[in-house]
């Protein structure tokens, strides 16, 4: 699934409860995250829940993998990875994640702490992308 498909799916859901369940399901479909990668070094600071993020560069693209100890946050990690993973460093830096998250309605329907954590993930990914430029 990609971010455009998530947007389309959201459009068919009238209730935010349904969207929350969908986000949780997205998190359940994340690839397994090795426990050995759940280190402080890989932890995203600024998230209330524990969130870990790793990456590798494959040619021009940067691929991200993430996990969280909270179900809803794990789903948000999945959404963030859909936005950024597989892109070039320049694309990562140029992506307007705020606009995409606004289109999904996430910032209006998440708690302030979760919203801060979401943007902490975005900033971490953008700094990784910028480090390759």
- Give catalytic residue positions: 47
Q: In what helix (H) or strand (E) does residue 93 lie, and over which residues does it extend?
A: helix 89-94
Give CA–CA dist 81/47, Å, rounded: 16
Beta bridge partners of 66: 53
CB atoms within 10 A of CB 86: 15
Half-sphere exposure of residue 1: CA atoms within 13 angstroms, side-chain side: 21
Give CA–CA dist 124/50, Å, rounded: 14
């Amino acid at each position: 699934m990609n971010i455009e498909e998530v947007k389309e799916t959201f459009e068919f859901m009238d209730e935010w409860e349904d969207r929350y369940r969908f986000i949780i399901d997205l998190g359940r479909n994340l690839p397994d995250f090795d426990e050995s990668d759940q280190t402080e070094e890989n932890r995203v600071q600024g998230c209330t829940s524990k969130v870990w993020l790793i990456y590798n560069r494959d040619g021009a693209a940067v691929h991200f993998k993430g996990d969280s100890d909270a179900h809803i946050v794990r789903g948000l990690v999945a959404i963030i990875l859909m936005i950024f993973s597989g892109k070039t460093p320049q694309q990562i830096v140029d992506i307007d994640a705020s606009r995409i998250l606004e289109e999904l309605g996430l910032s209006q329907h998440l708690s302030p702490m979760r919203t801060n954590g979401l943007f902490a993930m975005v900033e971490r990914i953008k700094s990784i992308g910028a480090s390759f430029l």
